[in-house]
A and B are shown apart, each in its own frame.
Chain A
Amino acid sequence: MKFDRVGETGPGTRMKNAGHNRPRLVLDSVEKRFARPDGEIVTALSDVSMSVEAHTFVALIGPSGCGKTTVLRIANGLIQPDNGAVTIAGSAPKPGPETGFVFQEFRLIPWATVQANVEFALEVLPLSRAERAERARSYLDLVGLSRSAQSYPGQLSGGMKQRVALARALASEPEILLMDEPFANLDAQTRELMQSELLHIWMRHKPTVLFVTHSVDEALLLADRIVLMGTGRVLETFDVDIERPRNLEATRSDARFIAMRDDLWARIRDLVLSDPQSEFYGRNLGG
């Protein structure tokens, strides 16, 4: 069962519906190697197992280059694992409307209008032209951009561009939303507003989300569960036991939030300081 359509919402009501707790994305002992242009083989993922249950928000954090983007690309079906198994709702992922990908760099088509950008993701679906336009409009409305439908991406601010990208990813009503550091390119203030927006949208639709971020705070604020990765593998998983609805002010000053943040930070710092490949390797950064 996919997440709720626009309109048939009601905060909290769909939280524990059928399909909850059944994994929507499963990675089982996934291994992935790349050949660099110079012929050297790099192991991006050595043994990754994780799952994302339906209507759950999972954040993926870990140091730069540990393989987070690779996990998302495998989940979308853009690349195939060399070993191990991946399933989305029970079958092998293939790029398309079953997954919605939100990229850090927005990746909007610059010569297409906002409306056309959203519709672009719907073209493989069996929808009539009118249905497609209507669907795109309703998701632009959801992210608060109905009035910019005929604008071109170049005319929008960074936050608005990322809203368009979010609408595009949501519009195909995917099994899972894959978000790769979606707010990293935004200024601090816009980032916080977008986090609030995402919390709000999540409460309305309960999408299944795998969200990559470098920010511990962002992960704690948004996620039900945090998966901490080290180079090519999953190190630990943390449940975020802070009830919803959450919001920026209250959640960030919650004692559990603060305790978990310190905990996670210490783990990540140790991880980075003990990694010979890291620029901070062996530094004494107090702690």
Chain B
Amino acid sequence: MPRVTPRQRKNTAMADNRLPSAAPGALTVAAARTGFLALLVLLWWVASVNVARNIIPSPLATLEAAGRLLHAGDLQQAVLDSISVYLSGYGVAILVAIPLGVVMGAFNLLGKTLEIYVYALSATPRVAFIPLIIVLLGLGAEAKVFIVFLGAVMPILINTYAGVRQADPELVEMARSVGAGRLRIFTRIVLPGAVPYVIVGLRLGATIGLINTVVAELYTAVRGLGGLLAVYGNTFRMAEYFVVVLSLATIGVIVTEGLRYAEQRLGRWRT
């Protein structure tokens, strides 16, 4: 499970702020990204023309398929289904993982006791639990939400815990030297210091949660974007299939960019 160490964090801060080559204007970035998108679409088109048996639909065919799906309302319904599963599972994961990570970090014995079980669970491929979850919770929304939860909760928990544990001992000593008590040190020094770690965990959790949303929809009652993926994949409707894949990618981008924005807002002091 990836974690940031303080050194890595410092390095990214440097890369973000100090290196002159790493600071092009927002407009330049947008232009470069658009250019790259055009290149990707071109490559896609070339591939669609050259790969046999219509396995890759052309960009135009995909666009038409998107129009059809939107017109019929299938896509909106699927996106809505998937997002509600995704956000429920991810939300519950946040509500559980952050407080648990904080408590584990605050109480040394509790943290030391639980951490090996947390690491063990996070090292186990979560798909291994899906048959068990289906037996226990059935094929409905609860099972899906639980599968998403299970994927998202670990990175958030582990990073929150790590963030609380690695509080800067020099700052803590400074706080002690001015007479701050344990509670004030925890709320004013330790917790704010853990925020960058928590955000890394949230970002990882968001990605894994989205993956697990699709996995859950494929394994359980076939609904949502994962459901459409299965249907179109099995019937070789590749244009529709591509629309679904692109929708998932878009959701992923929106969520990670949102978290990056939150990170920037919280980290304004870094500049």
Nearest-neighbor residue (CB-CB) of B13 within chain A: A154
Chain B residues within an 8 Å CB radius of A120: 175, 178, 180, 188
Chain A residues within an 8 Å CB radius of B176: 78, 95
Chain B residues within an 8 Å CB radius of A96: 178-179
A95 adjacent to B269 (CB under 8 Å):
no
- In order of increasing CB-CB distance, the 5 nearest A-B pairs are A96-B179, A152-B269, A107-B174, A121-B178, A124-B179
Listed stretches A46-54, A98-106, A218-226; interface member: A98-106
A154 adjacent to B271 (CB under 8 Å):
yes
A172 lies within 8 A of chain B by Cβ:
yes
Q: Given A78-B173, A107-B170, A120-B188, are A95 and B178 neighbors across the interface (CB < 8 Å)?
A: yes
**Scoring B residues 167 to 200 as 1 if CB is less than 8 Å from chain A, else 0, what string do you get?**
0001101111111100010001100100000000
A99 adjacent to B177 (CB under 8 Å):
yes
Q: What is the minimal beta-carbon distance from A74 to any residue of chain B, in angstroms?
A: 12
B270 lies within 8 A of chain A by Cβ:
yes
Q: Given A109-B189, A152-B269, A154-B271, are A172 and B178 neighbors across the interface (CB < 8 Å)?
A: yes
Q: What is the minimal beta-carbon distance from B194 to any residue of chain A, in angstroms?
A: 11
Residues of B47-96 at the interface with A, using a CB-CB cut-off of 8 Å, are none
Q: Given A109-B189, A154-B269, are A103 and B179 neighbors across the interface (CB < 8 Å)?
A: no
Q: What is the minimal beta-carbon distance from A178 to any residue of chain B, in angstroms?
A: 8
A residues apposed to B, CB below 8 Å: 76, 78, 94-97, 99, 101, 103, 105, 107, 109-112, 120-121, 123-124, 152-155, 168, 172
B residues apposed to A, CB below 8 Å: 170-171, 173-180, 184, 188-189, 192, 268-271
Specify which of A94, A111, A121 is in contact with B269 (CB 8 Å cutoff).
Answer: A111
Could you list 10 further interchain pairs (A-B, Cβ under 8 angstroms) beyond the known A96-B179, A111-B269?
A95-B178, A97-B179, A105-B170, A109-B192, A110-B269, A120-B175, A120-B178, A124-B179, A124-B180, A153-B269
A109 adjacent to B177 (CB under 8 Å):
no
Q: What is the minimal beta-carbon distance from A199 to any residue of chain B, in angstroms?
A: 24
A110 to B178, CA, bound (A): 17
Q: Label chain B's interface by main secondary structure.
A: helix
A110 to B188, CA, bound (A): 11
Q: What is the minimal beta-carbon distance from B175 to any residue of chain A, in angstroms?
A: 8
Chain B residues within an 8 Å CB radius of A95: 176-179
Q: What is the minimal beta-carbon distance from A68 to any residue of chain B, in angstroms?
A: 16
Chain A residues within an 8 Å CB radius of B271: 152, 154-155
Specify which of B171, B184, B189 is in contact with A123 (CB 8 Å cutoff).
Answer: B184
Chain B residues within an 8 Å CB radius of A101: 174, 177-178
A101 to B180, CA, bound (A): 13
Nearest-neighbor residue (CB-CB) of A101 within chain B: B177
A78 adjacent to B192 (CB under 8 Å):
no
Nearest-neighbor residue (CB-CB) of B170 within chain A: A107
Q: What is the minimal beta-carbon distance from B176 to any residue of chain A, in angstroms?
A: 5
Residue from B179, B184, B271 whose CB has the most chain A CB atoms within 10 Å:
B179
Chain B residues within an 8 Å CB radius of A99: 177
A168 to B177, CA, bound (A): 12
B171 adjacent to A107 (CB under 8 Å):
yes
A154 adjacent to B170 (CB under 8 Å):
no
A94 adjacent to B174 (CB under 8 Å):
no
Chain A residues within an 8 Å CB radius of B188: 109, 120
Chain A residues within an 8 Å CB radius of B268: 152
A123 to B259, CA, bound (A): 33
B178 adjacent to A103 (CB under 8 Å):
no
Chain B residues within an 8 Å CB radius of A105: 170
A178 to B174, CA, bound (A): 12
A154 adjacent to B178 (CB under 8 Å):
no
A-B contact pairs, 11 of them (CB 8 A): A76-B177, A94-B179, A95-B176, A97-B179, A101-B177, A109-B188, A109-B192, A112-B269, A120-B175, A123-B184, A172-B178
Chain B residues within an 8 Å CB radius of A109: 171, 188-189, 192
A154 adjacent to B270 (CB under 8 Å):
yes
Q: Given A95-B179, A154-B271, A155-B271, are A103 and B170 neighbors across the interface (CB < 8 Å)?
A: yes
Chain A residues within an 8 Å CB radius of B184: 123
Q: Given A107-B174, A109-B189, A111-B192, are A123 and B269 neighbors across the interface (CB < 8 Å)?
A: no
A103 adjacent to B180 (CB under 8 Å):
no
Q: What is the minimal beta-carbon distance from A224 to any residue of chain B, in angstroms?
A: 24
A78 to B180, CA, bound (A): 11
Q: Given A97-B179, A109-B189, are A103 and B174 neighbors across the interface (CB < 8 Å)?
A: yes
A97 to B180, CA, bound (A): 10
A111 to B170, CA, bound (A): 15
Nearest-neighbor residue (CB-CB) of B193 within chain A: A111
A236 to B168, CA, bound (A): 36
